Structure formats: structure tokens, C-alpha cells
Amino acid sequence: MMANGEDKRAGMDILREAAELTLVLCGDWLLRNDRPEFQQLEAALIAEPGVAVIAFDVSNLGEWDTALLIFVRRCRDLAQAHGVPCVLDGLPEGVRNMMRLSLAVPRQEPVADAAAPDVFTQVGDQVLRTYRGLDNYCIFLGQLLLALRALLTGRAQLRMKDFLFLLQSTGARAVPIVCLLSFLTGLIIAFIGVIQLQKFGADIYVADLVGVAMTRELGAVMAGVIMAGRTGAAFAAQIGSMQVNEEVDALSCFGISPMQFLVLPRVVALVLMMPLLCVCADLVSILGGMVVAVSISDVSVVQYFNQVENAVGLNDFFGGIFKSAVFGVIIALAGCYRGLNCGKDATAVGLAATSAVVTAITWMVVADAVFAVSFHILGI
């Protein structure tokens, strides 16, 4: 409560009636005013034994602010220390409400430093954290499958406008950076290959090297790494920011599934766009290899493309495209999962974006190794 005009000096009288000690407060209890010494109450409790209750009389109380709250809280703590109950019913409603809030959270007592856990405790804690993480991830995958079923049956809660925007941001807007890095990658591979093959007079086979390496392995991997850093981190940051602002909770309160509204369109969009980006990466990297082969060797443009046509089979081309679709699933899942499990501050959003990139790249490398072994066994 704010003071208006000239302040009245704060005062306090202590009245004893039977076993009740009443504190009569008068004047303006403001921080800028002089106030009665708190020791008066403590002296009264010591001088007058047998007090059963402490009450307040504020009939003559004027303006008040935090100063009154501090005084009442100290009175309550002192009464509690002497085993005497302190009745707050006579205080203004605002004071009672503020006191109720201050007493809602118990005071934390300092805790002595605990001994460092032994190695078995640390291992056990890590195992439990890993188990809980796997359990949460399995729940996330199950919810995504249910959302996918809802999409296939036409009952998914998503907006086509948002989905088309995601297609644009994950596809068309990513083409320049994918093409640039793929061109440079093909150029580097061709340069290294030409330098070595020229020793044997086999310059023409640089086309085989670039074509097979990019279509079968590096095209999908390069596109995946680029999209993990560009789009996977963006997914985590976007959903993480919504988590911080409690927008995800708001969607749930309105009966909208965050899995269907946020995660599903991002996963579908990235799965659809990754094969197209992989095709762009393959073609541009082959062009980059051609620039080097034609520039520093005796290979002509026609010879280069004829050799690429003979070396690269459909199994190599479509195998890389299939990998890129799987990489798209990995990137989208990593970004959305980290975003939904983000904390409630800005630091947590940054950690979620970083974790999404690391998780996506790690699992892409693992998946690529599995594909390499599987394709070899199947003769693809």
C-alpha cells in the first residue's frame, strides 16, 4: 500500500489480557519511517511468562508496505521459538495473503556436504539414466507411429499451410548449401584421384571414383550432415523455444496433439525432401569431379560422362537415395525429440540444438555402417 501525503509515525503498544498478548499497531508502517524496536516484544515475552497466544490489533493502522510484513514475520518466528501461537486473523487481508505465500515454501536449512558417491553408485545412476532415456525414446516413437496412423486415416491435427512451409524450408531453401558443399566435395575427391591415377595413366577412372563414391555413400552422407546442422538444430530450437514459452502445454490444453501438430509434419517433410537433396548432391558432385578431370587431365567431357554412366549402376543410385530417406527420419526424430524434452530456459534450448546435431550425426554414421555391411551381404 502506497502512502499519500504526510506519514504518521509508526507505533506499537503491548497489552496483556489474561493469557493473551496483543500488539496494538498504529500509524504508517513504511520502510522509510522509523518503527518500534522489535526487541520490545521479546522483552515482553520474557517479562510476562504464561503467555498462551499473541494477537494483533490494527484498528488504528494507517499506510503499510513491506516493513509491516517483515515485522509480522519476525513476530511469528519469535513466537514459534517460544512455543507460543501467533494469530494473524486481526491483520489486513493483504498482509495475511502475503504471509500465507511466504509460509507456503518451507525454509531450507543448510545441508552438510554429502560424501562423494562411490564408483558403483555412479555406474548405477548412469545405467538408470540410460534406461529412462531409452524408455522415453520408445514412448516418443510409439506416439509418432500413432500420429502417423492418424495421418494415414485422415484424422491428423496438422495444417497444410505449415506443412508446405516446412517442405519449402527443408527442401528448396537447403538446395544452395547442399549443392555448394557437394560440388566442392566432388572436386576434392576428383583432384585427389587424378593426382594418384595419373601415375598409372588411368586418369579416366577418376569418373568411376567420383561417381560411385558420391552416389553410393558420400552424397547421402553429405546431405545428411548438412541437414543435421541446418534443419535438425532448427527443429530442436523451434520446439524447444515453444517448450520454454509453454506453447506446447497450451496446445495440449486446447486438445491439440503436439506430436501431430509439431513433430509429424517435420518428420514427413524431411523424409520427402532428403531424397531430392541427395539427387542434387549426386549430380552436382559429379559435375565438380568433371571440372577437375577435364582441367588437369586429358579426359574430355564426353569421356567423363560415358565412364560415369558405365560405372554407376541403378543399385548405387537408388541405394544412396534410400539411405538419404532413412537419414531424414533420423535427423527429424533427433531434432523433435530434443526439442520436446528441452528445459525451461535459454541455455536448455542451446543444449537441445547441440544435442540434436550430435545425436543425428552419430546415428547416421551407425546407420551408414549397417547399410554398408548389409549391401555387401545382399550383393547390392
Exposed e or buried b for every residue in 338-372, given b needs 16+ CB within 10 A? bbbbbeeeeebbebbbebbbebbbebbeebbeebe
pLDDT, one tens digit per residue, over 238-288 is 999 998 888 888 888 888 888 989 999 999 999 999 999 999 999 999 999
Write down all domains in the chain, each with its CATH number in brackets.
11-102 (3.30.750.24), 143-378 (no CATH)
pLDDT at 4: 46
**pLDDT score at 3:** 42
Range with lowest mean pLDDT among 93-107, 149-163, 269-283, 362-376: 93-107
What cell numbers appear for 208 in the block? 568411376
CA–CA gap between residue 361 and residue 373 (Å, rounded): 19
Buried b (16+ CB within 10 A) or exposed e, 273-286: bbbbbbbbbbbbbb
Provide the pLDDT for residue 156. 82
| Confidence at 106, pLDDT banded by 50, 70, 90 | low
Residue 109 binned pLDDT confidence (cut-offs 50, 70, 90): low
Could you tell me if residue 181 is left (phi over 0), alpha (psi between -120 and 50 degrees) or otherwise beta? alpha
Task: Check residue 27 and give its pLDDT.
Answer: 82
pLDDT of residue 111: 56
Q: What is the mean pLDDT of residues 36-54?
A: 71
CA distance 14 to 21: 7
Q: What is the mean pLDDT of the chain?
A: 85
More confident: 364 or 18: 364
**What's the rounded mean pLDDT across residues 69-83?**
80
State pTM to two decimals.
0.68
**Residue predicted with more confidence, 93 or 48:** 93
**How many C-beta atoms lie closer than 10 Å to residue 65's C-beta?**
16
The 10s digit of each residue's pLDDT in 319-349 is 999 999 999 999 999 999 999 888 888 888 9
